[in-house]
Structure 1
Amino acid sequence: MRRELRAEWTKLRTETGVGRLLPALVGLTAAAAAGVSASVTCGAAGCGHDTVKLALTGVQVGQAVVAVLAVLVVGGEYGTGMIRTTLTAMPRRGAVLAAKAAVLIGVTVPAGALAVLASLLAGRLILPGRGFTAGNGHPPLSLADGPTLRAAAGSVLYLALVALLSLGIALAVRDSAAAIGVVLGLLYVSAILPLMVADPDWQLALWRLSPSNAGMSIQATTNLASLPLSPWAGLGVLAAWAVAALAGGGVLLRVRDA
């Protein structure tokens, strides 16, 4: 396994574009968080906004960068034909998949943590000036607060699960452009699909099945009883999607020719 990890790490470091995607994940996530925080206001009488969720809205932008990064881990090799060399040199395909997933998580989690921390910092600095003050019932954002810490850690896990979901889909599709389209459609189209049906039961079912809607519930810190799924249960839905994608991609990697 050590050999596979070393090989995958070398390939990831030398993959064109990866060096720009990780800073982009941090920068775009934090910038989106700052933009959202600066666009809302809270009157003197208080308001019902969840300030933690507001500050972490940028994760919805950052997930697209994570998806592209994860697809490149596989799609680049299939595009150049390098996958044949990889599987010839390392014929244990399960070990290759595990190494790809481990290396991907190894870069996604630190970058995701920086993105989440930068987003919370932006919210802490901007939101008080928009009326979200302790006097209005909104104390400054702090990781010392249990729900805030859960939302922050859960957002990092959310990005890691998006990376694994994207990796599995890329293995199944074997084409970078197509895989990116499938992943982004799954994340963003499924999020708005419940709004396109009138039946409330179908709306609820589609919301609970959406990997992004369900997974993003981990960011909620207020009115938890009104959520269609609890925060950790929602993240569990995304985890199930990621496991299914990896399992399917892994099976196809084993049974198909390179």
Structure 2
Amino acid sequence: MIPAIKAELRKFFTTRLWWGMAIAMLVIGAGLAVAFGYFVTAGAESGAEGVPTGTAEQVANSVYTGGLSFGYLLTLVIGIMQIGSEYRHKTITSTLLAVPRRGQMMVAKVVALLVIGAIYGLIFLVGSVAAGALVLNAQGYSPFPSGGVFRTLALSLLVLGLWALIGLGVGILIPNQVAALLIAVAVAWIVEPIGGVLLSLWDFGRDHIVPYLPSAATQAMVNGVQQGGPDAAQPLSWWAGALVLAAYAAVLAGLGAWRTMRADIS
């Protein structure tokens, strides 16, 4: 198992993709921490409808995770490419010849993606915390008002790893790599946000569907400031959000693993 995991990590870190993604993670984390820092601290305590509101802990969480939606989009792409490139370049056959037990191969890919997600999470947090702490200090906020901030930072690593697993499942279920990337990005950034807005117009949808969408579960995990006024959908608790996002990752990765175990590959 250990050699299989090392092989999966080597496949990723011997390409130029990894350092390009690393630079993007660092820049996104730092840049959006600054942008969110000035935006959130300006209205966090105003109480006006439609303006972000929250405690000092929620303000800090929002600043440090301001670019998380971009970050998990990148790990989603990495998860798709980790398996999609195998199908596209016909290397899946040699991979299975090297690791003939398909279950072992899938476990190795899952573990490798969690490691990759954690590494990129650390890079993201280095940029966001360094830049965000400076902004919070400048705006008169404590960079670390409570221990809950450290929990949020740890959960951010989990978020990026789980979205990578979601990408792995999508990449297997849609073997065409280009199609998988386009569909996944479109759903994550266009279809789901628009669907969430439309569902929020329906009382049942706002209260019982919107909080369980992947992006809403992600935001619940990081416990940031709330937007949209008193009529906005109430987020799940952080642990419930973690369970919901883990369920999405488990279902998609599980379906992908099941398909891989049964598919004829030549």
Same fold, judged at TM 0.5 (above):
yes
Question: Does 1:240 pair with 2:241?
Answer: no
CA positional deviation for 1:221: 5.7
Distance in structure 2 (CA, Å) of the matches to 1:52 and 1:192: 27
Distance in structure 2 (CA, Å) of the matches to 1:45 and 1:172: 45
TM-score, with length taken from structure 2? 0.84
Deviations 1:211-233 (A, max 9, x none): 1111221111678xx83311110
Question: Does 1:54 pair with 2:55?
Answer: no
Q: 2:77 aligns with which of 58, 68, 72?
A: 68
Deviations 1:184-241 (A, max 9, x none): 2443332342211321111222312211111221111678xx8331111012101000
Equivalent residue number for residue 10 of structure 1: 10
Question: Does 1:157 pair with 2:165?
Answer: no
Equivalent residue number for residue 167 of structure 2: 166
Distance 1:196 1:18, change over 3 A: same
Distance in structure 1 (CA, Å) of the matches to 2:236 and 2:32: 25
Question: Does 1:36 pair with 2:36?
Answer: yes
Please show how residues 69-218 of structure 1 align to structure 2 within 5 Å. 69-129=78-138, 131=139, 133=140, 139-142=141-144, 145-188=146-189, 189-197=191-199, 198-218=201-221
Distance in structure 1 (CA, Å) of the matches to 2:162 and 2:44: 39
Q: Is the 8 A contact 2:207 2:234 kept in 1?
A: no
Q: Is the 8 A contact 2:72 2:160 kept in 1?
A: yes
Distance in structure 1 (CA, Å) of the matches to 2:15 and 2:112: 13
**Pairs aligned (count):** 248
Q: Is the 8 A contact 2:80 2:181 kept in 1?
A: yes
Distance 1:44 1:17, change over 3 A: closer
Equivalent residue number for residue 23 of structure 1: 23
Q: Is the 8 A contact 1:71 1:179 kept in 2?
A: yes
Distance in structure 1 (CA, Å) of the matches to 2:165 and 2:257: 12
Deviations 1:89-140 (A, max 9, x none): 22111111111111122122022023124213322211343x4x2xxxxx41
CA positional deviation for 1:45: 7.4
Distance in structure 2 (CA, Å) of the matches to 1:124 and 1:241: 32
Counterpart of 1:191 in structure 2: which amino acid? P
Distance in structure 2 (CA, Å) of the matches to 1:43 and 1:13: 42
Deviations 1:232-255 (A, max 9, x none): 101210100000011100000011
Secondary structure of the structure 1 residue equivalent to 2:209: helix
Counterpart of 2:242 in structure 1: which amino acid? L
Deviations 1:24-47 (A, max 9, x none): 222222212222223445379766
Distance 1:45 1:208, change over 3 A: closer
Equivalent residue number for residue 228 of structure 1: 235
Distance 1:121 1:16, change over 3 A: closer
After superposing the two structures, state which structure 1 stretch, 167-176 or 3-12, moved more.
3-12
Greater RCO (Cα-Cα under 8 Å, separation 6 or more): 2
Over the matched positions of the two proteins, sequence identity in percent amounts to 27
Distance in structure 1 (CA, Å) of the matches to 2:31 and 2:224: 22
After superposing the two structures, state which structure 1 stretch, 244-253 or 95-104, moved more.
95-104
Distance in structure 1 (CA, Å) of the matches to 2:188 and 2:92: 27
Counterpart of 2:108 in structure 1: which amino acid? A
Deviations 1:5-28 (A, max 9, x none): 232122112345233112322222
After superposing the two structures, state which structure 1 stretch, 14-23 or 37-46, moved more.
37-46
Secondary structure of the structure 2 residue equivalent to 1:42: helix
TM-score, with length taken from structure 1? 0.86
CA positional deviation for 1:169: 1.2
After superposing the two structures, state which structure 1 stretch, 115-124 or 72-81, moved more.
115-124
Distance in structure 2 (CA, Å) of the matches to 1:245 and 1:228: 23
